[in-house]
Structure 1
């Protein structure tokens, strides 16, 4: 087992770090609010550090799972940042959903310090993190990926190396583009079915077994039909992710008209008070 540190104990990082500890890895954690780190230790053991630098000292692999590009920079750079504490040859694995531009920046900066890097955003949500069945999309060097993979497998059921640094983030962007389109289509279908007086559960039981089936349909149709959205992947997080997708599309010339439109639909949901609602709340704007 390897010495690890985990920086960022949010709804994803808390259980992910817990799986590392459960698999026997030596884990030191850091969280901006120290009480969360103390809570994690109370449940999983290990150690907590007062700064990212101290958390990273002596670690073979440093995992980061925070909010956005600026949050990543705040815990990696500077006198108290993780990079200042990492030993030569150590690996930094960034699980944050961030920009591909940041991933390339980090690889170059860390390489100059003889440190290694993977951008490795995840999919599967809070439930996937808690159950240890996340999908991990990685970008970086093949040997670095091979060295980090056994630890990542502590909380993942699918791990893929997608290409050089930034490729993991680009793959996650494709993932979010697909989800946005699926949820919008499902919202319109449920809205249509409700207006037509159909039994949504009966309809989904049939059509989910055909070409229209999806994870979103199987796992969200019931709560959507009931108008419940107080759980899951928050609208504000999806808007952050779609903003990254749209910014990258402006850089690479891709045309994302549907994604841009759905992002505006999510803006309407936010205006309805749904910033923290699950992404399936696209239906709520149709049923106003």
Structure 2
């Protein structure tokens, strides 16, 4: 157990709500804030063993806090709760630590880092991977951008809900690394979808196919965790296609600014747009398989 801190958490969605619970269970004094008050009330009802303070604004949440964490929706949401007229940075004290777990652009991560520096606040852009299950089980991987001293200030809090914390570089590097992750795993899901439909068309036993190939070069987390659920048309998991398209949009924009060609990523983004048009925007990213017609299944 690290020394208890006054910690404020803003954004109690699927990921944020689970992270906040781990922080509270670790013994820290917890303040919560959500732009939709009903979600904060729902979180409290789901965590009756935790005593928390409920703030009515980001600034109120930041008052007296040693550490403030955010996990909101997008660049605009983050700018509002951090840099807005009632934002975190209007009240956060010098020497405090700010950690952002939202997946946003590297540009806004760098902008917030500059503002934090002027306020003498430690700042870490810290997107996560591991999905809803990783958040619920306290087994997330965090990719951190920022100064080394900021990472070390944030580490004792992040250890409550992570299995791996990696300092990847300067401010914005955490967000850029998350983009690398999204490029890689969206590609895996695209080929896994085609492999599954091929196996079905060939009248193969899908369990036997998985047994045969999952121990070899094609093995992946997605195969181990999504092969069977994709075969059963089960897509009710944590990371929605709508969120993936947001992330891929950020990635493609950053790629253009870097002069990097991402033709496969751009194509997969359009595949996901097709599934959105089919009504699958809130389904898990493995619902990408829905765009491929099922043929010849025995």
TM-score, normalised to structure 2, is: 0.95
1:254 matches 2:260? yes
- Offset from partner CA, 1:159-182 (integer Å, 9 cap, x none): 000000000001100000001000
Structure 1 segments, 4+ long, off by >4 Å, are none
Which SS does the other structure have where 2:44 is aligned?
A: helix
- Alpha-carbon shift at residue 204 of structure 1 (Å): 0.7
Which SS does the other structure have where 1:161 is aligned?
A: strand
Equivalent residue for 2:204, pick from 187, 198, 203: 198
Query: Residue 78 of structure 1 corresponds to which residue in structure 2?
Result: 84
Q: Structure 2: give runs of 5+ residues left out of the alignment.
A: none
Instruction: Give the total of aligned pairs.
Output: 288
1:201 and 1:221 in contact (8 A); partners too? no
2:59 and 2:91 in contact (8 A); partners too? yes
- Alpha-carbon shift at residue 40 of structure 1 (Å): 2.6
Equivalent residue for 1:41, pick from 39, 44, 49: 44
2:146 and 2:171 in contact (8 A); partners too? yes
TM-score, normalised to structure 1, is: 0.98
- Alpha-carbon shift at residue 235 of structure 1 (Å): 0.6
Cα separation, 2, equivalents of 1:59 and 1:232: 30
1:41 and 1:47 in contact (8 A); partners too? no
Q: Structure 1: give runs of 5+ residues left out of the alignment.
A: none
- Alpha-carbon shift at residue 79 of structure 1 (Å): 2.7
Query: Residue 11 of structure 1 corresponds to which residue in structure 2?
Result: 14
Cα separation, 2, equivalents of 1:162 and 1:271: 36
2:122 and 2:153 in contact (8 A); partners too? no
Query: Residue 117 of structure 1 corresponds to which residue in structure 2?
Result: 123
Query: Residue 32 of structure 1 corresponds to which residue in structure 2?
Result: 35
Cα separation, 1, equivalents of 2:200 and 2:273: 24
Cα separation, 2, equivalents of 1:275 and 1:78: 30
Query: Residue 166 of structure 1 corresponds to which residue in structure 2?
Result: 172
User: Once superposed, what is the RMSD of the aligned Cα atoms?
Assistant: 1.0
Query: Residue 59 of structure 1 corresponds to which residue in structure 2?
Result: 65
